[in-house]
Structure 1
């Protein structure tokens, strides 16, 4: 396992073990006082073979390097909430994000409350899942000290796991991209079989998806109605879910090129969110910088955490979704400010986004304010430029129109803010054109403008 691990996030109460033929996976829950309250979730799986196939598909994605051959992190995150059990993970290259939402109707539920853990899918677990049949009796239990999967008294020993820091960074970035996704098309699984077969032949090159008469096909030419699909070969990961799902929806953000494929049944949804290109991962994309540049998020984070904790202990359980507009009303701030605060929570992995319903969801993980900026070097560099007075506003400022020069390491760069967008003369902006977040000079200029307007 890679050494880049967010070790502080979990405190494990025991090493993984086997007891009476049951699988016990080392895990971490929330508050220490919840340990005696029993499982976060306990119930019988109604669709054992299909659920096992979906989990195997997720684990295959997690173990796959589509481009960058880094050591894989084979430890999906699982969250139990009031009405679903959610599994999440990233591919080894961090360019594919997979999520499996198992609804309440997927189980005969005995107990359910809010909690998050990180479990290990090693070869023994994969073999175990592969043996589950349609008529088998399978039970799942998720608690602060273990995740237990019962199946014909089989047993697998799992060791305690830690949440990779790279995954935390990926979770924070992918939720921003997901908040921009729009539903483009729905397909029957049969229509996608030829597309996935052609994707395997295409390889990792960038393509455009053309839809004619409801039938999708790849083309190398961009058109007014085509959808960019980078790294098309990654769609092969969907092959195993097609016999299970009744429909597959395509979501896309045409500006960034991020796209998502969602297989749905009556009892679950399987998400595959893909980065704009095979060579790009979701970790370190800089999409949170627009929100974190405003300092006032710090004033609201504690209040939001208290609200979420209060929901957790309410009789009806935690809020299933987080609505920024509702949050803004309760906090007495703008919806934009509430989103900025959720972005700060996302840096610690606490907040995710569900493009299917348009709301945020929460994971029960600790929050450390120091981590908000630790993994944002551009934000730290911008703060340094701002504090050094490196930004000089140029004459002629008007609403939506600002020009500034920024002295950085002996070189002067020019920043321009216009209603249609922002530009900088630095090499970073020239290379990425804002696709990987704002450069430090644009961020420092925003800080200077904000201070000026507050004064």
Structure 2
């Protein structure tokens, strides 16, 4: 087994991140406190104002991450992971997971109004939500005292009667790929349906509990209609059974906002508003399509300067819960387009996420590893090899290009984003550009830089 040590950017770390075939073990940065640097930080230590809300939200995350909504015919169901990634931003706590099949992402946001005293620190860790903790959480009531302690190596949840402690575990590497694709895909989403608490409850109760391919949801005078057939103006929800974990929150919901790419109608994001918190579930286009297999970031990462720019930006993130690309451009002297490309590269290594409600990136402290990003995106590696081999030949008007790959040539039309290769004909660009389109983009950049 090959194990590599990754050196994180920024302040000195008490440990180093390691990456091998089993997954990624995170390094944590020391915390800055009024007394100085704390080499073993506590990201939060205090009571929760809405104990039942927080308990049920953690149980939603646990249900999502242990569930496999699609099992390929050739693959037996593997053991599920139960290890949310916790990030403290100074003004909020976030916990993120993926389903076992990677077709669902879920994120819990706990703001300062959900915390009764205690100071939110800065840092990232991931821990296992074990059976004992889940059992404890299932019995939490509205008026019960619930204490939370999130540290670099643990999460402790305590009531007056008992304490459950969960330790840091290894995060699967496929989650890193999925983090990046989720961020890029959801940047194009916007709000398409907003429901109050009553409408939100009606929606979740009306969704089929059995496996159904697709339903369409539309607001009505009664609150909401759910149809098994396409309806003009309705929101398409693929694989709606993947939203079933949210039924735990029926009595707690104050509203729901649904987001989608209005143009494609592919995938959907549902943000549930709760007292002192919000939980967001995102569904991929189909249950059989995991977020870790998408290629949404490839075009943004095709720039020759993107690795150096990403390294520069990584030193400026500071666990921000809302990253401003304009401020990054001002602080680093980079053009805005290069900042956007560098953020895409950082997203590909899981270092930044996308908050669809705030329409902004946020920082999570995973190590930025350009080599791993390349291995996770073989089409980009293949495109760079084609450019190095001078395999891209442009027409005189530079509207089309022939790209020689192996014994064949493929015609690329960059302005239309089309290629004559089998990959494009099969996917029609729905899973990112092929290596020939990427090679044409890189060839254009190289030529302009000469």
> Are 1:72 and 2:69 an aligned pair?
no
Task: State the 1:194 CA deviation.
Answer: 4.6
CA contact (8 A) 1:292 1:340 kept: yes
Select between 108-117 and 433-442 the one with higher mean Cα deviation: 108-117
Q: 2:4 and 2:83 mapped to 1: Cα distance?
A: 13
* Paired position in structure 2 for 1:17: none
Alignment partner of 1:343 is 2:350: no
Query: Which moved further from structure 2: 325-334 or 342-351?
Result: 325-334
Q: Which of 188, 197, 214 lines up with 1:206 in the alignment?
A: 214
Matched, 1:271 2:280: yes
Q: Deviations over 1:40-84 (max 9, x none)?
A: 211111111221011111111111111134431110111111111
Structure 1: distance between partners of 2:187 and 2:300? 13
Answer whether contact 2:14 2:30 (CA < 8 A) is retained.
Answer: no
Q: Matched residues in 2 for 1:275 and 1:7: separation?
A: 32
Deviations 1:343-384 (A, max 9, x none): 111122110010111111001222222222121111111111
SS for the counterpart of 1:279 is coil
Distance 1:9 1:184, change over 3 A: farther
- Answering whether residue 419 of structure 2 is matched by residue 424 of structure 1, we say yes
Alignment pair present for 1:54 and 2:53: no
Q: CA deviation at 1:290?
A: 1.1
- Distance in structure 2 (CA, Å) of the matches to 1:124 and 1:37: 25
Q: Which residue of 2 aligns with 1:30?
A: 29
**Contact 2:198–2:223 (Cα < 8 Å) also in 1:** no
SS in 2 for 1:112: coil
**Take 1:214 and 1:350, find their aligned partners in 2: how far apart are those partners?**
43
Distance 2:283 2:366 in 1: 25
* 1:107 alignment counterpart: 115
State the Cα distance separating 1:440 from its structure 2 match.
Answer: 0.7
After TM superposition, list the pairs within 5 Å mapping 1:361-380 onto structure 2.
Answer: 361-380=362-381
Question: Matched residues in 2 for 1:157 and 1:270: separation?
Answer: 23
Quick check: 1:412 aligned with 2:412? no
The answer on whether the counterparts of 2:65 and 2:80 sit within 8 Å (CA) in structure 1 is yes
Q: What CA distance in whole angstroms lies between the structure 2 residues aligned with 1:286 and 1:27?
A: 24
2:178 equivalent to 1:170: yes
Q: Of residues 290, 298, 320 in structure 1, which corresponds to 2:299? A: 290
Which residue number in structure 1 is paired with residue 430 of structure 2? Answer: 435
> Cα RMSD over matched residues?
2.6
Alpha-carbon distance between aligned partners in 2 of 1:333 and 1:27, rounded to the nearest angstrom:
29
- Asked if 1:403 corresponds to 2:400, the answer is yes
Gaps of 5+ in 2: 16-24, 72-76
Give me the whole-angstrom Cα distance separating, in 1, the residues matched to 2:275 and 2:4. 36
Task: Tell me whether 1:232 sits opposite 2:232 in the alignment.
Answer: no
User: CA contact under 8 A between 1:114 and 1:364: conserved in structure 2?
Assistant: no
* Cα separation, 1, equivalents of 2:275 and 2:180: 29
Structure 1 range deviating more: 375-384 or 231-240: 231-240
Deviates more, 1:236-245 or 1:348-357: 236-245
Residue 187 of structure 1, CA deviation: 1.1
Q: Conserved in 1, the CA contact under 8 Å of 2:150 and 2:156? A: yes
Contact 2:383 2:435 in 1 (8 A): yes
Mapped partners of 1:282, 1:116: distance in 2? 21
Partner of 2:145: 137
1:304 is displaced (CA, Å) by 1.4
Secondary structure of residue in 2 paired with 1:110: coil
CA deviations over 1:214-253 (Å, ceiling 9, x no partner): 7433335445423222112222222111211211111111
* Corresponding residue for residue 333 of structure 1: 334
Higher helix share: 1
In 1: Cα distance, 2:207 partner to 2:96 partner: 24
Q: Which whole-Å CA distance do the structure 2 matches of 1:159 and 1:148 have between them?
A: 9
Q: Is the CA contact (8 Å cut-off) linking 1:29 and 1:143 kept in structure 2?
A: no
- Counterpart contact for 1:5–1:162, Cα < 8 Å: no
Q: Which of 103, 111, 136 is the aligned partner of 1:128?
A: 136
Which residue of 2 is the match for residue 451 of structure 1? 446
Q: Residues 358 and 8 from structure 1, CA distance in 2 versus in 1: closer, same or farther, beyond 3 angstroms?
A: same
